[in-house]
Amino acid sequence: MSLLFIAPDRDLSSWESAIQDIDPNIEIDIWPAIKDKERVQFAVCWNHPQHLLDGFPNLKAVSSLGAGADHLLSDESLPESVDICRVVSPSLVQQMKEYILAAVLNIQRNFVQYIRQNDQRKWQPHNHPSPQELQVGVMGLGELGKPTAKQLAQLGYEVSGWSRSAKEIEGVTTFAKTEELHPFLNNTHILICLLPLTEETKGILNLDIFKQIDERGWIINAARGEHLVDEDLIYALDSNILQGAWLDVFSEEPLPDKHAFWNRNNVIITPHVASITKPDEVADQIVENYKRALSGLELNHKVNRELGY
């Protein structure tokens, strides 16, 4: 039986080494070099080609290479009989906390403006608010959102959080469900999206949302590109409904050269680097779930297809 890796345009040699360091007896295939499709019973994927996984007749389970599983859930050809799981790593949480804090600090202290001023050799100080004067809203209070919101609150920011179900977080004012979205957004200066991508959250960062936050507002999206309606963001920025956007994820990656986000002073772009899975940290999880799948046991970190995470 074999374990298959599918991650186009990625060097997977470090993943292969990490798996074999744990169990050298595991047979590994790396797509598209597959010895025997019938031997594949477990696949590990990231942005795999759609309508590929139904070509493995004995596939029992598939794991995401990262914390998100929407790329698997959106593949309509993936048989219902195939279980889906994901990896969970403390490093992913820490990296996300660092990324969001860096973005918030850069926005708060006007570093974005200062960097732009460097290009013009322009010396111009700007006043900046204290953390207590900034209302930060975190959309999504799961394994990434909850610790991120908690860290910001501990640093003195006024933090609110919104999620699908009610949560309690020390120092954070929490809201839940659609009916509490408007009061959550009220007076928000920095809106952070860390939601899972589901049918309900797709396109949630739209013009209606932008109009409800503070006119000096920024959005930070480090969840999924499909959360954002690109055209609505461009309109909001051009109409001064928003002051700026800090984006790590996009509907199409890499971001096309001619996309309207490029060369805009009020859009900061990073190439999907907020939280990167490290092979040596999660290889043991992949091996464990591979063996569980072969034995017919319940997978760890199993994804609920109905909830979308």
- Name the residues annotated as catalytic: 224, 272
239 contact partners, CB below 8 Å, separation of at least 6: none
Q: What are residue 121's DSSP bridge partners?
A: none
Residue 88 Cα distances to 28, 188, 290, angstroms: 22, 30, 15
- Euclidean distance between CA atoms 85 and 70, whole angstroms: 11
Distance CA 273, CA 173 (A): 28
What's the one-letter identity of residue 268? I
Q: Which of 190, 133, 135, 182 is nearest to 162 (CA)?
A: 182
Residue type, 228: L
Instruction: Specify the 3-state DSSP secondary structure of 137.
Output: strand
How many whole angstroms separate alpha carbon 292 and alpha carbon 141? 29
- Side chain identity at residue 177, one-letter code: K
Virtual CA dihedral for 238, 244, 247, 252, nearest 10 degrees?
A: 0
Interatomic CA distance for residues 172 and 158, integer angstroms = 8
Encoded tokens for 256: 């096309």
E-strand ranges in the chain read: 2-6, 27-30, 40-45, 61-64, 83-85, 135-139, 158-163, 172-176, 190-193, 218-221, 244-247, 267-269
Cα four-point dihedral sign 236, 214, 105, 95: negative
